[in-house]
Amino acid sequence: MTTTLITNIGELVTNDPEAAEDGRGLLGVVEQAALLLEGAHVAWVGRAADAPAADQLVDAGGRAVLPGFVDSHSHLVFAGDRAAEFAARMAGTPYAAGGIRTTVAATRAATDEQLTSHVARLVEEMRRQGTTTVEIKSGYGLSVHDEARSLAVARQFTDETTFLGAHVVPEGDPGEYVDLVTGPMLDAAKEHARWIDVFCERGAFDADQARTILRAGAAAGLRGRLHANQLTYGEGVRLAAELGLVAVDHCTYLSDEDVAALRDSGTIATLLPGVEFSTRQPYPDARRLLDAGVRVALASDCNPGSCFTSSIPLCIALAVREMGMTPAEAVHAATYRGAEALDRDDVGALLPGRRADLVVLDAPTHVHLAYRPGVPLVRQTWAAGRPL
């Protein structure tokens, strides 16, 4: 197998969990570093001066190298856009879950080819900004046929596909719709999905409905995740903790009981600061969660309604500026914790055996992602040992 040595790395973020424990810092940074790739995987990391020989040499020019971003929450399968809704919001109209139905109509009217090329464009946009693993949800089809085809489209781009038939009730009686989601829709969706998600929120589904839907998903072999506590306080976060879900996403409005439940369950709180940026809601308090011992991940939530950014660098900058995270915590949350939020141990770190998914920044340190907001700092993204 061909070996490639990336050398002259000014700062290498490894996310070595042992580094955090023995005082070398959360990111396991190695300075003046090198990284040996063997095929699609990392074979060795260390100081450039100690690097082994390799077939090919790549000079990083003193730049920072980070694990590729793991975006554990996105809704890329849709048609149309809602720029007018965004403009109205910026003129004072509050965000409401019901806007989802606008996108449902456009998505149902789109062909498979249109949906596929639109997802391809967004995935490419993400890659250019350093994302190497992305979770993609359905949730704008909301019929048996349109949810199944949305997931089939998503599956062409990632293994991390999530059935979100329970996004809103598209039309008709809510009880009948829950029966549809947990019955024929789940049957049609399950072969294309790894996860099942519910939008547990005022205007969408309550905690009892969410429990019913997640239980049905589990019986069909899908693992649960949840949108909760985005627009108001509610029972969603505690439900996620009670069910031992790997992650619960949004977590904007949290009581002390919610924070304690996250800490005790080990459920990851995935924060989505692009949403608060784009809805003018208050940002979630990452500092409070981290200080309580809760694991925090960051993701984009890229969708046409509440947040149409695909940029993890933007989310990192917002998390640092607005949510009390240090640059190191934010980078860790968008890489290592993102991988944990998808229950993946093959990505999210640059350590021997992990997949060689990485980002070369046009900057000397990871801090620049927050220090130079809005600047396209991702020089190159590598996936499975190859530059894209």
In the complex, which residues of this chain contact ligand NIG (CB under 6 A)? 75, 99-100, 103, 199, 227, 230, 275, 301, 303-306
Question: How far is residue 16 CA from its own chain's centroid?
Answer: 20
Q: Which does 72 bind (CB under 5 to 8 A by kind): ligand NIG, Fe ion, none?
A: none
**Closest CB to ligand NIG among residues 206, 362:** 206
Q: Which residue minimizes CB distance to Fe ion?
A: 301
Nearer to ligand NIG, 29 or 134 (CB): 134
> Shortest approach of Fe ion to residue 340 CB, angstroms?
18
What's the min distance (Å) between Cβ of 201 and ligand NIG? 7
Smallest distance, Fe ion to C-beta of residue 190, A = 20
Q: Which two tokens stand for residue 294?
A: 């809760």
Q: How far apart are CA 3 and CA 35, in angstroms?
A: 10
Strand partners, 33: 9, 47
Which residue's CB is nearer to ligand NIG, number 303 or number 365?
Answer: 303
Q: How far apart are CA 292 and CA 164, in angstroms?
A: 30
Please choose, from the candidates 306, 235, 237, 227, the residue with its C-alpha nearest in 3D space to the C-alpha of residue 274.
Answer: 306
Contacts of 171 (CB under 8 A, 6+ apart): none
Does 85 sit near Fe ion (CB under 5 A)?
no
**Residue 104: CB minimum distance to Fe ion, A:** 15
Residue 276 near Fe ion by CB under 5 A: no
CB of 272 to Fe ion, least distance (A): 7
- Lay out the site mask for Fe ion across 293-332 (x = CB under 5 A, - = otherwise): --------x-------------------------------
Shortest distance (Å) from residue 26 CB to ligand NIG: 27
| Minimum CB distance to ligand NIG smaller for 107 or for 335 | 107
The type of residue at 354 is R
DSSP 98: G
Give min distance, CB of 199 to ligand NIG, in A: 5
- Interface with Fe ion includes 147 (CB under 5 A)? no
* Closest CB to ligand NIG among residues 16, 301: 301
User: In what side-by-side order are the strands of the sheet with 268-271?
Assistant: 136-137, 161-166, 195-200, 223-228, 247-250, 268-271, 296-298
**CB neighbours of residue 26 within 10 Å:** 18
**Residue with the closest Cβ to ligand NIG?**
305
- Whether residue 31 contacts residue 340, with contact meaning beta carbons closer than 8 Å, is answered with no
Determine the 3-state secondary structure of 372 from DSSP: coil
Binding residues for Fe ion, rule: CB under 5 A, are: 301
